[in-house]
Chain A
């Protein structure tokens, strides 16, 4: 199984990067270099340390934002899922947040919180939190009533029902939301660096674009994808360790 999924991952990587290479070589646009050129630029950026310095900056709002969104998002999501009143009160905010055009909000954030780290963390949170909250609350609401009722019949305390029934039942969907949230958080981090102040990886992107060094620009974008994939894999491992068995399939009757 493991071998097969690895195999599929390699195939899809070859397909994506292969078509990137072909697309770049066929000269679609001057601004679209082939994969190999971007890789060369990538190694140059890694070798001279630019990439590491950039990530030291970018990771700050990203990590802080994702931790806040993860913890706060799951807590809010559980609360919304458990309480109809709270759902009525809070859910609309996240639904609006998820569909609002973020770029339009950035000037407001800058006015309120300046151009420092706080605004960037906010952008990451705005991107990451709604999907985490909405997934968590949906999962909590959809916990099968029969097992909640069973727990009650055996005198479960309210906290037991949450910890021993609702959370394990919801964990696959909560983690799916977390994965989507993390991906969105990555977008938020880069977006904030492009729109607020050019620092970190966002700076590499905007600077290399301004001097028409497109291979470096794509190298920076590639590095983000690489990191995101890495991060998501770590998350998946954590889920497997934390909720062993929750993915044991559902009994239909």
Chain B
């Protein structure tokens, strides 16, 4: 399969002072697909996402998004932050609409867009609450709704479902699969859950511990078109989960 790449990471190195986070990282993210980054804590997943977002400069190497070298953040990319990064003084609806507010979208328009995504993430009725009045999982969903509402071509999601309960998480995984199918968007998805990665991904990149590189790329194929309930019992699905588990376990030992 030779698809066009929405995002290309080419020989990226990133050092934080003496700490070498990424070493010669190269990875392609095909357009319209969901790629998961799976790797041990502290290996540099957030760092890679921030470099793609244009929030952090790479020490060397380059990132290309839709044919252009990334220097700054752009409207083609939206970020879901691992620590949510909500404005504590702003209501849920203002937080969700904040990306649009910064783009100068009129208040009534951006609030009606925000309203839709607030409903999608299951926060209807909390529009006027403040972040400190919400649970961790609810705050995370505010951050998710904010990223969805700017309608960017590339979504950079840093453990977007880590704080929600298992039922909501499964619902979100299904929503995500539908989103990938329906819209020609590219998703870069960080997770610590092997099952989640295998379930939602077109491509899974296993990362090595710091200094991080790609150790292996896995592309699940056969179960992609099955209906949601049978995926989790599919033999390829189970094989891949097992294979990833073995490979990740080797770093821990």
- A-side residues, CB < 8 A to B, are 146-147, 149-157, 160, 164-165, 168-169, 243, 245-251, 253
Contacts and interface: CB of A to CB of B under 8 A. Distances in A.
A245 B130 contact: yes
8 contacts: A154-B73, A154-B78, A154-B103, A160-B102, A248-B130, A249-B88, A249-B130, A251-B88
A243 B99 CA distance: 21
A221 to B, nearest CB: 39
B69 interface: no
Nearest to A149: B55
Interface stretch (B131-139, B171-179, B201-209, B225-233): B131-139
Interface of B: 50, 53-55, 73-75, 77-79, 81, 83-91, 98-99, 101-103, 130-132, 136, 139, 146, 150
A165 to B, nearest CB: 7
B139 A251 contact: yes
A153 B89 contact: no
B136 A253 contact: yes
B89 A150 contact: no
B73 A155 contact: yes
A147 B78 CA distance: 14
A155 B55 CA distance: 10
Contacts of A250: 88, 132
A155 B74 contact: yes
B132 A152 contact: no
Contact of B81 (A146, A169, A247, A248): A146
B65 to A, nearest CB: 13
Given A149-B55, A154-B150, A246 B84 contact: no
B139 A153 contact: no
A251 B130 CA distance: 10
Contact of A152 (B55, B83, B88): B55
Contact of A245 (B73, B89, B146): B89
B131 A150 contact: no
Contacts of B75: 155
Nearest to B101: A164
A14 to B, nearest CB: 35
B222 to A, nearest CB: 36
Given A152-B73, A169-B88, A245-B89, 15 more contacts: A146-B81, A149-B81, A151-B98, A152-B55, A153-B78, A153-B81, A154-B103, A155-B102, A245-B90, A247-B89, A249-B88, A249-B130, A251-B88, A251-B131, A251-B139
B77 to A, nearest CB: 8
A253 B130 contact: no
Contacts of B55: 149, 152-153
Nearest to A172: B89
B88 A149 contact: no
A182 to B, nearest CB: 23
Given A251-B131, A251-B132, A154 B102 contact: yes
